[in-house]
Amino acid sequence: MSKEAIVEKIISDAHLKADSIIAEANAKADEIIAKAAEECKEYLYSTKSETDRMVLDVDARSKTVAELDAKKLTLAAKTKVLDVVYERVLENLRNLDEKTYSDLIFAMLDNAKDGDVVTISQREKDIVTE
């Protein structure tokens, strides 16, 4: 073999070896890329699943808070109505004539059971003498 043939052989072998290394590197790169793509896909699905769960939790909490706020508003409205009713009843009781008021007090005393303690207010002390 001549020098040139040996050099050609070395260069040819080097090209074959380089092509082999490049092919192996490309295959390894494709494998790494495929694995990374799969990991990204898994991460995306797990993140989406977690995000969906969090959205449902926030939605549920928002509904609960809204329901509680509605109940508070309803309770406040009912309380206000009762306050007005009690105020009007008290005003009506205070405006009763003495005879009607006296009859009411004695009717309530008749309904008292034995052993009940009856407290008489300053206003009723002249009406109830027993």
My answer on whether 12 and 75 are in the same domain is yes
Q: Which two tokens stand for residue 98?
A: 């003495």
The dihedral region occupied by 115, where left means phi > 0, alpha psi between -120 and 50, and beta the remainder, is: left
- Distance in angstroms (rounded) separating the CA atoms of residues 105 and 120: 10
The length of the chain in residues reads 130
Q: In angstroms, rounded to a whole number, what is the distance separating the alpha carbons of residues 31 and 36?
A: 9
Same domain, 56 and 70: yes
- Is 30 in the same domain as 67? yes
Domain count, the chain: 2
CB of 124 closer than 8 Å to CB of 94: no
Q: How confident is the model at residue 70 (pLDDT cuts 50, 70, 90)?
A: very high
pLDDT (tens digit per residue) in 10-51 = 899 899 999 999 999 999 999 999 999 999 999 988 898 889
Residues 109 and 88 in one domain: no
> Could you tell me if 120 and 61 lie in one domain?
no
For the whole prediction, is pTM greater than 0.95? no
pLDDT tens per residue, range 94-124: 888 888 888 888 888 888 877 787 777 777 7
Residue 55: which domain range? 3-95
User: Is the pLDDT confidence value at 130 over 70?
Assistant: no
The pLDDT of residue 125 is above 80: no
Same domain as 82, residue 50 = yes
Q: Is 88 found in the same domain as 30?
A: yes
